[in-house]
Structure 1
Amino acid sequence: QARGVPVDHRADIYSFGLIVHDMFAGRRRLSTSESALAEMMGRMQQPPPPVRTLVPEVPEDLDRIVSRCLHPDPEQRYAKTADLVAELNALDADGHVVRVKPPVMHWRTASAALLVLLIAVVAAVAWMWQQRPPQGRTAAAARDPVSVLIADFDNRAGDPVFDGSLEQALAIAMEGASFITALPHRDAMRAAAQIKPDARLNQEMAQLVSRREGVKVVLAGTVEQQGAGYRITVKAIDALPAREIASASRTASSKAEVLDSIAKVATELRGALGDKDIKSSTIAAEETFTASSLDAVREYSLAQDLASAGKDEDAVVHYRKATEIDANFGRAYSGWALSAFSLGRQDEARTLWNRALSLMNRMTDREKYRTLGLYYVAVAGDYEKAVENYSMLVKLYPADGVGHSNLAVAEFLSLNFAKAVQEGQYAASIYPKNAKFRNNLALYAMYAGDFDRGATEARAVLEQSPGYVKAFLPLAAAAVAADKLPDARAAYSNMARTGVRGASLANMGLSDLALYEGRADEAAATLTKGIADDRRERNVAGLTAKYIALAETQLLAGRNKDVRATVPLALKESRAESVMVASASLLARAGAVDEARKLSAELADRVPNQSHAYAAVIDGEIGLAQGKFVQAIEGFRRALKLADLWLARFGLGVAETQAGLFAQAEPDLEQCLKRRGEATAVFLDDQPTFRELPPVYYWLGRAQEGLQMKSAADHYRRYLAIRGGATLDPLLEDARKRTTP
C-alpha cells in the first residue's frame, strides 16, 4: 500500500504480523530510525528485527511465524490465511510446536476464532512483560514539565519562505515529547511587545521573554545556504542562567527537505532535554507539515499572527493562500474557519471546519485534540465535549500548559468553576510568570466567589504587567464584596489609565457600580460618554454591554419607548447570547413581548444546550413581565435542567416568591447569594454586572418573610444599605415599609 501498488489478503497477514510483533516488543523497531516515515521505508527493504532479538523470552517457533508474516516480499509470506492458521494450531500454550498433530479446523472458523484468541493471549503476555522494566534499567519516573520558547530563526539564507515557517514546524516536532510544551508564538510576541514595541523575537528578546514568562528553555535556530542545500542549526539555551544546554544541526540537500531536517533536529534536542520515550522520538509520517508545504506553513504563520492581532479579514487571505499551496493543510482550514466564525460568516466557517476535521489524520495526536477542542468551544458550543476532549489531551500530554489552560476555559464555560480554578492553577504552574494564565486564574477564582484569592492573583499579575487590563476586575469585585466601593472605583480608575480598551471596560465598571447603588442618572451619563467612545473605536463588546445598561436606566425611569429604541441598537451590533437574553428581558418588561419571543425562538434554533437554556430563561422573563408566574416558573425550571445558570436560578426564586411558593424560593435565592461570584458578570464575559446582586437580598427577604423567618429583616436592611440612596428603584419603598415596625 505504501508503494502505491495493488494489494491482496497478504497485506492483512503482514498487518497481523506487525501487530503481534509490537505486542511483544513494544515499538522498539522505531528506535533505529529518524522518523516514522524512514522506518516505514526501511521495512519495504528489510523486515523488522526478529522478536527474539528484542525479547529473548519469545519462543523460537512463534518468532518464526511472526517473521514470515513480516517478509517484505508478499510471495514469501503465507499464501493463504488457512496456512497461517494451521501454523498457529500447531503451537501449544507455551508457543512451541506440538509434536502430536492437532485436530483439523475449518480455516474460516479458525480465522474468526483462533486469530482473535491468539491476539488476546499475546496481548496479555505482552502486557505482563511490558510491566517489567527492561533488564539493567529502572522504570522511568514521571517527567517534570519543560516549557520552551522558540525564537524567530536567523534567516541567513535570505529566503523569505523560511520566515515564520520553521518556528511552527519546530514547535510541532518538539511537542512530540509529552513533557515538553511550547509557548504559543502569539503569546511570546505579545510579551515581547510589552518589553519593547515592534520588537522581533530574536534570541536576545526570546531570552528576556522567557525570564518574564517563566519559560525554562529557549530554542534559537539559524538557517543558512550550504552549496545547493541548507544548513539548519538549533541551540537549546537554559533561560536562567543563560547557558547552552545542547545544539543540533542537519543539512538539507534542497528546500524540500528542510522540514524533515527540522524534525531530525527536534528529535536530537528532545533527547538532550530528557526524552527517553521511543514513541515520542518519531513524528507521524502523515504530519501536516510535509516536505511540499514549506510555503504553505509560512502563509499559515502569517495568518496566525494576524488573527491573534484581531485582523481576521487579513488573516483569511493568508489562510486561503496556505490551502491553495497545500490543499490538505488541516491546520490552515481550522484557522480559517475560526476567523470566518469571528467575522460572523457562519456557513463559511461550518464548511471549513468540516474540511479541517476530515484532514485530522494528517495531524499529530496533540494537534488533533487541540483542533477538536477549539471547534467544540468556539463553534459548536459543546462545552461538555470540550472538557472530555481536553481532559484526554492533558492526560496524554500532562505538561501541555495551553492544554490545561484550554481545559480550564472549557470547565469554566461548563459552569464548573472549582475545576476551572484547579486547571488554571496547573497551567499557571507550568508558565508561572505568564500574565494571561495567571489572570485567568484570578478571574476563575472571582467567578467561584473566592474574591480574596482572585485579588491576590490579580495583584501578582499587575506587579509583572502593570497595564494588564482585566487584572483590575478581580480587584474591583473583591472591593465590592467587602463593601469597599471607593476601592472598587479606584480599581476602575486605574484600569482606565491603561489605554482605550481599559477605558471602555472601566466605563462599564463605573456605570455598573452606579447602578449597583441605584444611581441611575449618574450611570446613564457615564454610559452615554462610553457609547460614543466605543462607537469611535468599534468596540462591539463594550458597545453592546453599554447599550443594554443604558436601556436598564431607561426602564427604571419608566421610559419604555426609549428602551424599545435602544435595545435594537445592541442587537444590530451583535447576536451573542448575552446581548439577546438581556435584550429580551428588557423588551418584555417594556411591553414588547412579541419581540422578546422572537429572540427566544432564535436561540432555541441554535444547537448548543446553553442556547436552549437561555431561550427558556427568556420564556421565564416573559412570564414574570406578564405576571404569569406559573409560566415563569416553568421556563426557569426548564432552563435549569439544561444549564445551572445564575440568571435562571434568580428568576426562578423571584417567580416562586411572587407565586407564594416561599419554601421553594428561599433555597434558590440563598444559592444565588452563595454563588455571588457569578453575579460579577452573569454572562461570564467579563462585562461587570454586580448590579444584579442587590435585588437578591430584597427577594430573599420576601421569601423568608413568607416563611416567618426572623432573618428576613436582615436581608431587607442589607438591601437598603446598598440601595438606600437610589433615585429610581421600584423595590426601595416596599423594602422600607417592610422594615418599619
Structure 2
Amino acid sequence: GVESGTGKHWKLIVPAAVAALALSVAGYFYFHRAAKLTDKDTIILADFTNTTGDPVFDGTLRQGMAVQLEQSPFLSLISEERILHTLSLMGQSSDARLSPELAHEVCERTASAAVLDGSIANLGSQYVLGLRAKNCRTGDILDEEQVEVARKEDVLNALTEIASKFRTRVGESLVTVEKHDTPLAEATTPSLEALKAYSMGWKVTASQGGDAAVPFFKHAVEIDPRFAAAYASLGLMYGSMGETEVGTENTRKAYELRDHASDNEKFFITAYYDGRATGNQKKAQQTCEAWAQAYPREWKPHSFLAGFIYPVLGEHEKAAEEAQKTIELAPDFGVGYALLGSNSLSLDRLGAAEDAVRRASERKIEIPLLALLRYDVAFLKGDSGGMQREVAAARGKSGAEELISDHQAFALAYTGRLQEATKMLRRSSDLAQQAAHREKAAVFETRAALWEAFYGNAPTPKPAAMAALTLAKNREVQYGAAVALAIAGDSSQAQTLTNDLERSFPEDTSVKFNYLPTVRAFLALNHGDPAKAIELLQVAVPYELGQPRSTQTAFFGALYPIYARGQAYLAARQGAEAAREFQKIVDHPGIMVGDPIGVQAHLKLGRAYTMQGDTTKAKAAYQDFLTLWKDADPDVPVLKQAKAESAKLK
C-alpha cells in the first residue's frame, strides 16, 4: 500500500534458491498445520535474489510482494521505517541491501516471527520464482512456494499466485484471502518498469525524503498513466513538502483511478482524498473507521485520525487516543510520538507531551517533528534556554532547522519583536522561492501580513497579503490573506477571496466552519454590525476549539472564530461576554502555541474588564500583556495603545 510521508512502506524479504525442497505430500500438509503464524506475529521481507541479470527485477519484486501481502488483514509486515531504524542500530547504512542474512538479524532484533526471502532465476527461456518463509528463532521452514512462468510479462501474475498461496498456508482464512486478493497488476500496474520506478520512489523516500522521491513517482505515472498508487504517493510527497495545490491534483487523480488499487490502498486513497483534497473530515473519519475495522493491524487510519481529522473537529482527546494506537501498532514510527505530543499540547498537558518525546528518545527515534515539539514545550513553559538549545541542535539538520526557524519567528512576533520576526520570515520566503516551493513562500508572506494586521500596522498588511496571493492561491493562503485584509479594512478584496474559497471548497470542514464565518465576522465588524458578526460565528461553535487545516500546513488560525467573537462583543459594548471569549484563548495556550492572538487576548481582556468597570482585573490583564512585550519593538501601534490604556487605569 501507500506508505506514510515520513517513511512507511512495508517491504519484503524474499531471496531464495531456485532448487525446491522436496517433501512428501503428507509430510508437507502436516508441516503446514504445525507451523501457522498468528494474527499477532510480524514478518520481515528480504530483498529478492535476482540471478537473471535483468535489473528491472531489483527492488521491484520485493515491492510487488509487499503490496500483495499488505492486502492481508491477518499478516503484518515490519515497516520500512522500523527496518531502517534497526539497521542504523546495527551500524548498517540506510541503503544496505536487505539480504536474507541481514533480514534474519533484523527479524531477531525486532522479535518478529518469520523472514521471507524470495528469488527469481532463469531456467532455459523461462523464469522461476521462489518464496521461502523461515522461523527467525528456530530456522524452521514455515512455507516454500515456487512458480515457473514462460514470459517476463507473466512475472507479476506469478507474484500474485505465490502471495495468495503463502497467505492461506500460514494461517489466514480462505475467506479473507479471497475477499482481499486483488491481482498485483490490477493493484498497482501491469508494467514492470513502472513498478520499478515506484519501488525506487519509496526506497529514496526512506533514505532522502519526499523531494528526492518525486521524480521516481512521476516517472511511474508517465509509464503507466493509470497507476493509482503512484499518483497517491505523489499527492503525499507534495503535501509533505507544503505544495498542497499540486498535491491535491495528484490525490484527485488517484481517487479517480482508485478501482485500480488493492482494498487497503483504496482506503488510503479515499481517506487522504477526503481529508486533504476535499477537506471533508467527517467523510474521512468514516473511511478511517471502516479501514481500521477491515485492517485491525494497520496503523495508517489511526495516524490519519490523530493527525488531521480529529484535531480539525476539536476532538483532541480522541486524537491523543488514536496517536497512542498508532504507537502500539508501529512502535518505531516517529510521527506517532509527535502526534501524541502535539495532541497532548492541545489538551494543555505539557507533561504528557514531554513524556511522548521521552518515549521516542528511549527507542532512539529522532525526527524533525519531535525537535519542533521540544521547542514548543519550552516556549509554553517560558524556558528560553530550552528554546535556544533546540535552535542550536537543529542547525544544519534538514527539516528540523526549517521547522524550528518557523516557530522561532512566531515566538519573536509573539513577544512583539516584529522586525526580527519578519526578517526571519522573509529569509525563509526567499529560500523557499529559490527551491521552487512557491506555496511555502506564500505561506511565509501570509504570516507576515497577519502579524501586521493583528498588531495594528494597517495598511501595512496589504502588500504582504498581495505578495502571498501572487505566489500561490491555496486555501490557507487565501484564508490568511482574507483575515489580514479584513482586519486592515480592505473589505472588498477580503470578500472576493472568501467567495472564491466557498466556491472552490464546498465540502471542506475548515473552510465551512472556520474560515468563512471568521472572515465574514470581521467584514460585518467593518460594516458596524457586531450582532451580525456574532450570528455568523454561531456555525463555528462545534469546531472552534479545533486545529483547522491552516494550523497544520501554515501554523496559524487556531481559535480565530473565538477571537472574532470577542472582538464583536467588544464592539457591541458587551464586556462580560467579550471577556469570556478572550479568556477561552488564554486558557488554551497549547492549541495556539505562538499565534499572535494568544498575546492579543491579554490586551483584549484588559479592554473587556475596563468596559465592565473591573479595574483590578483590567490592570492585571494589561500587565500580563506588557510583561510579555517588555522587549517589543517600541513603535508597534498596539504596544503604544496598551501603554496608554493601562496608564489611564492608574
Give me the TM-score of the superposition, normalised by structure 1.
0.69
Find the counterpart in structure 2 of residue 180 from structure 1.
75
Query: The residue matched to 2:129 in structure 1 has which SS?
Result: strand
Q: Which of 564, 568, 589 is residue 676 of structure 1 equivalent to?
A: 589
Tell me, in whole angstroms, the C-alpha distance in 1 between the residues paired with 2:381 and 2:141: 50
Tell me, in whole angstroms, the C-alpha distance in 1 between the residues paired with 2:356 and 2:85: 20
Tell me, in whole angstroms, the C-alpha distance in 2 between the residues paired with 1:635 and 1:675: 23
Tell me, in whole angstroms, the C-alpha distance in 2 between the residues paired with 1:621 and 1:514: 26
Structure 1 residues 293 and 430 mapped into 2: Cα distance closer, same or farther (>3 Å)? Answer: same
Structure 1 position 438 matched with structure 2 position 365: no
Bigger CA drift: 547-556 or 656-665? 547-556
Residue type of the partner of 1:231?
V
Query: The residue matched to 1:398 in structure 2 has which SS?
Result: coil
Query: What is the CA distance between 1:467 and its match in structure 2?
Result: 5.5
Structure 1 residues 267 and 476 mapped into 2: Cα distance closer, same or farther (>3 Å)? Answer: same
Find the counterpart in structure 2 of residue 233 from structure 1.
130
Equivalence map 1:178-257=2 (5 Å): 178-183=73-78, 185=80, 196=93, 198-203=95-100, 218-236=115-133, 246-254=142-150, 255-257=152-154
Preserved CA contact (<8 Å) 1:147 1:182 = yes
Tell me, in whole angstroms, the C-alpha distance in 1 between the residues paired with 2:403 and 2:249: 31
Preserved CA contact (<8 Å) 1:544 1:574 = yes
Find the counterpart in structure 1 of residue 521 from structure 2.
620
Query: What is the CA distance between 1:571 and its match in structure 2?
Result: 2.0
Find the counterpart in structure 2 of residue 125 from structure 1.
none
Residue type of the partner of 2:498?
S
Find the counterpart in structure 1 of residue 319 from structure 2.
420
Percent pairwise identity = 20
Residue type of the partner of 2:223?
K
Query: The residue matched to 1:669 in structure 2 has which SS?
Result: helix
Query: What is the CA distance between 1:386 and its match in structure 2?
Result: 0.9
Preserved CA contact (<8 Å) 1:551 1:586 = yes
Tell me, in whole angstroms, the C-alpha distance in 1 between the residues paired with 2:437 and 2:637: 33
Structure 1 position 521 matched with structure 2 position 416: no
Preserved CA contact (<8 Å) 1:151 1:221 = yes
Preserved CA contact (<8 Å) 1:312 1:339 = yes
Bigger CA drift: 189-198 or 173-182? 189-198
Tell me, in whole angstroms, the C-alpha distance in 2 between the residues paired with 1:316 and 1:594: 40
Equivalence map 1:61-80=2 (5 Å): none
Give me the TM-score of the superposition, normalised by structure 2.
0.77
Q: Which of 184, 208, 218 is residue 316 of structure 1 equivalent to?
A: 218
Residue type of the partner of 2:122?
Q
Query: What is the CA distance between 1:401 and its match in structure 2?
Result: 1.7
Residue type of the partner of 1:715?
A
Find the counterpart in structure 2 of residue 498 from structure 1.
397
Find the counterpart in structure 1 of residue 627 from structure 2.
721
Preserved CA contact (<8 Å) 1:214 1:433 = no
Bigger CA drift: 370-379 or 184-193? 184-193
Equivalence map 1:704-715=2 (5 Å): 704-707=609-612, 711-715=617-621
Q: Which runs of 5+ in 1 are unaligned?
A: 1-136, 681-688
Give the aligned CA root-mean-square deviation in angstroms: 3.9
Preserved CA contact (<8 Å) 1:213 1:431 = no
Bigger CA drift: 374-383 or 226-235? 226-235
Preserved CA contact (<8 Å) 1:555 1:590 = yes
Preserved CA contact (<8 Å) 2:68 2:181 = no
Deviations 1:616-640, CA, capped at 9 Å, x for gaps: 2222233445654334333433444
Query: What is the CA distance between 1:388 and its match in structure 2?
Result: 0.6
Q: Which of 596, 599, 620 is residue 694 of structure 1 equivalent to?
A: 599
Tell me, in whole angstroms, the C-alpha distance in 2 between the residues paired with 1:539 and 1:169: 32
Tell me, in whole angstroms, the C-alpha distance in 2 between the residues paired with 1:669 and 1:634: 18
Preserved CA contact (<8 Å) 2:446 2:468 = yes
Deviations 1:198-229, CA, capped at 9 Å, x for gaps: 44444466567778888765433222223443
Tell me, in whole angstroms, the C-alpha distance in 2 between the residues paired with 1:350 and 1:673: 38
Query: What is the CA distance between 1:162 and its match in structure 2?
Result: 2.2
Structure 1 position 487 matched with structure 2 position 353: no
Aligned residues: 583
Larger RCO, structures 1/2 (Cα 8 Å, 6+ apart): 2
Residue type of the partner of 1:496?
R
Preserved CA contact (<8 Å) 2:255 2:273 = no
Q: Which of 475, 482, 492 is residue 577 of structure 1 equivalent to?
A: 475
Tell me, in whole angstroms, the C-alpha distance in 1 between the residues paired with 2:418 and 2:236: 39
Bigger CA drift: 465-474 or 597-606? 465-474
Structure 1 position 287 matched with structure 2 position 183: yes
Query: What is the CA distance between 1:600 and its match in structure 2?
Result: 1.0
Tell me, in whole angstroms, the C-alpha distance in 1 between the residues paired with 2:604 and 2:441: 31
Structure 1 position 277 matched with structure 2 position 173: yes
Residue type of the partner of 1:478?
V
Residue type of the partner of 2:61?
L
Query: The residue matched to 1:569 in structure 2 has which SS?
Result: helix
Tell me, in whole angstroms, the C-alpha distance in 1 between the residues paired with 2:358 and 2:562: 32
Structure 1 residues 641 and 603 mapped into 2: Cα distance closer, same or farther (>3 Å)? Answer: farther
Equivalence map 1:636-647=2 (5 Å): 636-640=537-541, 645=546, 646-647=559-560
Tell me, in whole angstroms, the C-alpha distance in 1 between the residues paired with 2:165 and 2:247: 43
Deviations 1:154-187, CA, capped at 9 Å, x for gaps: 2222223323332233223323442323355588
Structure 1 position 610 matched with structure 2 position 510: yes
Structure 1 position 596 matched with structure 2 position 494: yes
